[in-house]
Structure 1
Amino acid sequence: MIRRILALFDPFIGALLATVVLASVLPARGGFVPVVDIAADAGIVLLFFLHGAKLSREAIIQGLANWRLHLTVLAATFVMFPLLGLGFAAVPGLPVALASGLLFLTLLPSTVQSSIAFTSIARGNVAAAVCTASFSNLLGIFLTPVLAVLLMGGSQVELSFDSVTKIVLQLLLPFLVGHALRPLIGAFVTKHKWILSKVDRGSILLVVYAAFGAAVVEGLWSEVSWTDLAIVLACCSVLLAVVLALTWWAGKLVGFSYEDQVVLLFAGSKKSLASGVPIAGVLFAPAEVGAILLPLMLFHQLQLIACAIIAKRLSARPDVGGNPAAA
């Protein structure tokens, strides 16, 4: 039993927690700060470049035919989630930064790797999962900052010319360049998926270290208590449960096949840590980013555990495989 429980935890979470501890004990100071910032920015640029090279143009063309599914997933990601986020961010007693972090996580795009992996395990429409998760991430580069400005207010985040320039140069341009070079490097990236995985996780750890280090220097842990963290964890748990229920029943209501219901369930209920970390670094002041990312980190682990359990249960059902009423 213990072995099965431990199997649900991604080793990356341990590295993430270790990075937070390191940043809390030994935050970047003085001349080391610009070195860490440059390394984190370089990692983000390389990450989005490789994501662009990985995205198959053929998959995009094939996926456009299933536009009803894609629009439903996008509505769950960028409409339903933010509406729920407004309610959870209003929980009384939370520090402003943590409440903002709860709202911010609901504005992010879906994940790519885990959405595809869990869809595959549950015997869903993998091709559609690839397309819809990729669309979500690409649109998130634009939609997340816009939604943050509209819903979080100018006092917390302001989409200035400098921030727009940073989004274009760090996120969008590397993604487009990588996709344009896919005919040359796409086969290499696909064959060596471990490279993308290492860059993905390494860049996140670098940005988290830089963000939490700056927040710790500004007194993060004197402002956030264990009670605050417990409340945020409870909010993330309830939020995830509500979204999982709504996306599953929405798929039935719309009349999707079982395979497409699975895509909506997994792609529509997730939020991307890989996209959230760099976007938060662009939109928020360095001293605020650490606290802003705390709810996202908690939600990230919860969604992996919950979706791993659900995917395994769906895959084990004998009636799964084209039956809309399955599961």
Structure 2
Amino acid sequence: MIRRILAFVEPFIIALLGTVLLASVFPARGVWATVADRTADAGIVLLFFLHGGKLSREAILTGMRNWRLHLATLGVTFLLFPLLGLAFRLLPFVPATFAAGLLFLTLLPSTVQSSIAFTAIARGNVAAAVCAASFSNLFGIIATPALVALLMGGTTGGVSWASVQRILLQLLLPFVLGHLLRPWIGGFVVRNKQWLGRVDRGSILLVVYAAFGAAVKEGLWQRIAPSGLALLTVLCLILLGIVLWITTLLGRAMGLSREDAVVLLFCGSKKSLASGVPMAGVLFPAAQVGIVLLPVMLFHQLQLIACALIAPRLAARAYAVATPD
């Protein structure tokens, strides 16, 4: 069991924590802060370009047939989650900074890689998981900034036209270009999947370093006590537990097959760190990005651990049903 968890969690968590530690001890200053910001921006562009190149048009067309499942997944991701985020913001014991980060977390799209991997482990509908996760990320490029503008305008000072331009130039345009160039770069992307995965994660680490470095210079760790981190962890666990429970009940209420219910469970309950980090860098002031990303980083690790425990159990149940004594 521990090996299953570590297989999904260990390498990137270590790199992520190491990056936060590096940014906390040696934040980029002066000209190096500008270099870090520009490099992070380039990493964001590359990240979304590669995401566009990975998205198969055939998968989109095939996935449209399972519209009930995909609408349910999008509904959980961009309706249920934000409602829970707004409810958490009303809790009197939740600091405003944590409430903003939790709300931003709930506005993000689903993960792709881990959602598909856990669906496969649990013997779910892998093809549908590919489509559901891809649709979520594609829709999220537009939906997440729009929801941030609608629900967090007072927190962020509003999303300015400059932010909209940055979203278009850094997120949407590279994604569209990557997808349009897929006939020429698709083979390269598939052949170099492992190497490009490292580029993906490296881009995220660059943004995290720049974001936390800026936040540390503004006194991030002076404003957050260990008890605050503990509270934030508990809130993320509660949020995850609620969504896992609701997606399970929703799959049953909709009469989905076991395989499709697994897709709803894993694709609907996750939030993407890969999308959240660059979007936060575009949507929020540099000094605010670090603290906004704390809930995203915590939730990301917790969802992986929880799903690493759930997926093998679902697979065992499916095997027991398929091979009765």
Q: What TM-score, normalized to structure 1?
A: 0.95
Counterpart CA distance in 2 for 1:183 and 1:153 is: 40
Displacement of 1:4 in angstroms is 6.0
Aligned to 1:204: 204
Q: Deviations over 1:24-57 (max 9, x none)?
A: 1000100101110111111111111111111111
* Stretches of structure 1 lacking an aligned partner (at least 5 in a row): none
Q: Is the 8 A contact 2:36 2:206 kept in 1?
A: yes
Q: CA deviation at 1:91?
A: 3.1
Residues 85-104 of structure 1, C-alpha deviation per residue, up to 9 Å, x if partnerless? Answer: 11222333443222100111
Question: How much does 1:145 deviate?
Answer: 1.2
**Does 1:297 pair with 2:282?**
no
Q: Is the 8 A contact 2:119 2:129 kept in 1?
A: yes
Aligned to 1:234: 234
Instruction: Note the C-alpha offset of 1:153.
Output: 2.8
1:267 aligned residue: 267
* Cα distance in 2 for residues equivalent to 1:265 and 1:132: 11
* Bigger fraction of residues in helix: 2
Letter in 2 for 1:135: F
Identity %: 66
- Partner SS state of residue 78, structure 1: helix
After superposing the two structures, state which structure 1 stretch, 154-163 or 104-113, moved more. Answer: 154-163
Aligned residue for 1:12, secondary structure, equals: helix
Q: Deviations over 1:64-110 (max 9, x none)?
A: 11111110000000000001111222333443222100111000000
- 1:7–1:182: structure 2 CA closer, same or farther, 3 Å change rule? closer
The offset of 1:157, in angstroms, is 4.2
- SS of alignment partner, residue 154 of structure 2: coil
Query: So what's the TM-score if we normalise by structure 2?
Result: 0.95
Question: Which range moved further: 22-31 or 81-90?
Answer: 81-90
Query: 2:34 matched to which residue of 1?
Result: 34
Q: Which amino acid aligns with 2:98?
A: L
Report what 1:66 is aligned to. Answer: 66
- Paired with 1:321 and 1:124, the residues of 2 have a C-alpha distance of 14
After superposition, the Cα gap between the structure-2 partners of 1:8 and 1:164, relative to the gap in structure 1 and judged at 3 Å, is closer
Aligned partners of 1:3 and 1:71: how far apart in 2? 34
The change in CA–CA distance for 1:320 and 1:293 in structure 2 (over 3 A counts) is farther
CA distance in structure 2 between the partners assigned to 1:213 and 1:93 by the alignment: 28
Instruction: Report the Cα distance in structure 2 between the residues aligned to 1:84 and 1:282, rounded to whole angstroms.
Output: 24
Per-residue deviation at 1:199? 1.6
Amino acid at match of 2:55: L
Q: Which runs of 4+ in 1 moved over 6 A?
A: 320-323
Partners of 1:157 and 1:322 lie apart in 2 by: 55
Distance in 2, matches of 1:77 and 1:247, equals: 10
Opposite residue 124 of structure 1, the aligned amino acid is G
